[in-house]
Structure formats: structure tokens, C-alpha cells
Amino acid sequence: MKKTTKIGIIICDRYRTCAGGKCLRALRNKEGAFSMYTDTDLELVGYTTCAGCPGGNIEYTGEEMVKNGADVIHLATGMLVGYPPCPHIQTFKDFITMRYGVQVVVGTHPIPQKYLDLHTGLGTWSNPSWAPLIEQAMSDEQTRKAYD
């Protein structure tokens, strides 16, 4: 029997009214950052926002997600593609990992092609420190276009 990996998602509060369409579609289809789960089923056990800059909910929401069984917490792709991208992503990742002993992955749904084009043009991610942050959500061009 396949095991089930329980997932928590934290989104950027700028998109607090988002119904989660792209993230949930990617989770269901195992696309974007969810493509790493080739041998396990996925179950969403938490979904919330950072509560707005500078991310006050990050300190607490990990605890609730872990109590609810989260094996992995994903920081939503919106934190990467919004303009400007969240400047605290690495801090969030490090904090949640250390404080709650849970794996944290940056990215949820594939980066939409139009955002890749925009940020490439702007040089947003030209600093090499962005490379490990965007890699999980990068996907192939066809998949990125399907999320435009």
C-alpha cells in the first residue's frame, strides 16, 4: 500500500483571498514542487497565510500543522513570483525547519511562464541565492504555460 505524505501550505498574505486553485491543482496532479512525491499519496492537512509582512504567522502556524500530522510544509510559489518576491523566504524555511523539526519545501504550483518571463526580464532572481529557492517550482515550459 502506498504511504500518504501529509502536506501543509503557507501562502503569501498578499494573496489571502486566493482559493488555492493553482496550489491544489498542482498537489492533485503532482506538478511543480509536488512532482517530487512520486511514490506517495498526498493529503493536505493545513493551509494558511503568513499573516502579512513580516510574516507573524510563521512563528505559530508550523506548530498547528505539525500537530495535525504535517510531514512537509510548502511555502507557496506566490512568495516567489509576487512582486517583489518575499524577502523572508529563507528565514521562514530555516525557522520552521529548526523550530518544528519538519521538512520545508519552497514552492507549490509550477511557476507560471508569464511570471518567469517577467522576473527574468527584471533580473529578480539573477542573484545565485535564488536558484535553490525557485528550482522546485520551475517545471518544464509546457507545464509552466499550463499555469499561466
Judged by CB under 6 A, does residue 137 bind ligand SF4? no
Judged by CB under 6 A, does residue 12 bind ligand SF4? yes
- The DSSP result for 3-64, as a single string, is EEEEEEEEE-GGGTT---HHHHHHHHHT-GGGGG-TTEEEEEEEEEE--STTTTTHHHHHHH
**Residues with Cβ within 8 Å of residue 142, at least 6 apart in sequence:** none
Number of residues interacting with ligand SF4: please give it, by CB under 6 A: 11
Query: Which window, 6-14, 36-44, 125-133, 135-143, contacts ligand SF4 (CB under 6 A)?
Result: 6-14
State the minimum distance, in angstroms, from the CB of residue 1 to ligand SF4: 36
In the complex with ligand SF4, the residue whose CB is nearer, 65 or 143, is 65
Judged by CB under 6 A, does residue 53 bind ligand SF4? yes
